[in-house]
Amino acid sequence: MTHERTFWQDKRVCVTGGAGFLGRALCRRLRSAGCTSITIPRRAEYDLTDSFAVRSLLEDCRPDIVLHLAAEVGGIGANRQNPGRFFYANMAMGLHLIEEARLFGVEKFVQVGTVCAYPKHCPVPFREETIWDGYPEETNAPYGIAKKALLVMVQAYRRQYGFNGLFVIPVNLYGPGDNCDPDSSHVIPALIRRLTEAKDSGARSVCCWGSGRPSREFLYVDDAADAIVRAARVVNDSEPINIGTGVDIRIAELAGLIAELVGYDGQIEWDTTQPDGQPQRRLDVSRALRTLGWRAETSLREGLRRTIDWWQEQRQPVDPLPSVSTLS
């Protein structure tokens, strides 16, 4: 901890997406590590898809380290409706931030990638070396490919310019403060909201998208923040690093666990006319253990309990929701 505080105490840090779900957890973690100078750019002031705005941001905050979390992303419905926007926005933000950070002489740049970059039929567990072995799952490929292109960029910039860019790949995140909007939320917050409201309304059944057979790995948001802060401190190469638990769960089992935790005892039905997304996602997390000395600490049951407690404390009554997307 002494080394950590010594590293961060004099660093000026810019956290793009710092007001978002992962960003808030990351900023809390930075403060606990001793960082006192954190800039969180807001879209109203800095449009990160515009190179001039990015240049202004760096001139204004003069960061030593940039942690690039900002992204446009959502569940299966949002990905199907906005493939062009998701590709453009994510590609443009990373492209301009990396280039301007290089020109500005930023000491270290951490690009946060996505598990969606892995091939649809990638051998399980996903190893970093297999990220190029096929095309991503089609419904979120534009988002995944944009992020994967930024991996190429940080590696190319290290070779040509000596730019100290890192690339971490978190698995699906969840936790208190997650997005529970029915039109854009991922599977865990969507299921928590849907099943809580089904319990409150006395609904006998809940219908979810897909078959329930695919599996996903989930990482508690505070664990992800801890891994990213540690990577920013100790890593000085551009090889991608998986960040996850190394444990997956079928979506049907996940729904059953959430139903148990919220106290819903009705029927969970599955709409198999809707797509499942990638069949299975589970990461090989051995590189994170080896290079960061890091492993996830929060069990899925405990993380879900905390997330459900948060949702029940702050939620407002709403109208009944449509079917839940299981792609995240």
257 within some domain: no
Its pTM stands at 0.91
Total domains, the chain? 1
Can you give the pLDDT of all 328 residues of the chain as single tens digits? 578 999 999 999 999 999 999 999 999 999 999 999 999 999 999 999 999 999 999 999 999 999 999 998 877 777 888 899 999 999 999 999 999 999 999 999 999 999 999 999 999 999 999 999 999 999 889 999 999 999 999 999 999 999 999 999 999 999 999 988 776 678 999 999 999 999 999 999 999 989 999 999 999 999 999 999 999 999 999 999 999 999 999 999 999 999 999 999 999 999 999 888 778 899 999 999 999 999 999 999 999 999 999 999 987 654 444 444 444 4
- Hunting for tokens 């001139």 — which residue is that? 59
Question: Is 102 part of a structural domain of the chain?
Answer: yes
- The CA distance from 215 to 111, in Å, is 26
| Residue 39 within a domain | yes
Q: Residue 20 has what DSSP assignment? A: S
The answer to whether residue 52 is domain-embedded is yes
Residues ≥6 apart with Cβ < 8 Å to 292: 227, 230, 231, 234, 235, 241
**What is the DSSP annotation of 108-160?**
EEEEE--GGGSBTTPPSSBPGGGTTSSPBPGGGHHHHHHHHHHHHHHHHHHHH
320 vs 169: CA distance, rounded Å: 35
- What span, in angstroms and rounded, lies between the C-alpha atoms of 62 and 39? 9
Q: Is 143 an annotated catalytic residue?
A: yes
Q: Is residue 58 part of a domain?
A: yes
pLDDT tens per residue, range 119-137: 999 999 999 999 999 999 9
Three-state SS for 273-318 is CCCCCCCECCECCHHHHHHHCCCCCCCHHHHHHHHHHHHHHHCCCC
pLDDT computed for residue 160 by the predictor: 98
Question: Distance between CA 39 and CA 27 in Å, rounded?
Answer: 10
CA distances 264 to 2, 258, 306, Å, are 46, 8, 17
CA distances from 266 to 124, 146, 194, 253, 259 (A): 33, 40, 12, 15, 8
Residue 207 DSSP class: E
Q: What is the CATH number of the domain that holds 32?
A: 3.40.50.720
Q: Indicate left, alpha or beta for 135 from its phi (over 0: left) and psi (-120 to 50: alpha).
A: beta
Residue of 143, 157, 174, 264 marked active site: 143
Helix axes 141-161, 83-104, angle to 10 degrees: 20
How do residues 252-283 score in pLDDT, each as one tens digit?
999 999 999 999 999 999 999 988 877 889 99
The DSSP bridge partners found for residue 283 are: 126
* Host domain of residue 84: 2-174+218-243
DSSP 8-state class, residue 49: T
* Residue 185 within any structural domain of the chain: no
**For helices 21-32 and 221-234, what crossing angle results, to 10°?**
60
Burial of 26 (0-12, 13-18, 19+ CB in 10 A): buried
Residue 30 inside a domain? The answer is yes
Half-sphere exposure of 29 (CA within 13 A, CB side): 23
- What's the CA gap between 285 and 293, in Å, rounded? 11
In a domain, 270, yes or no: no
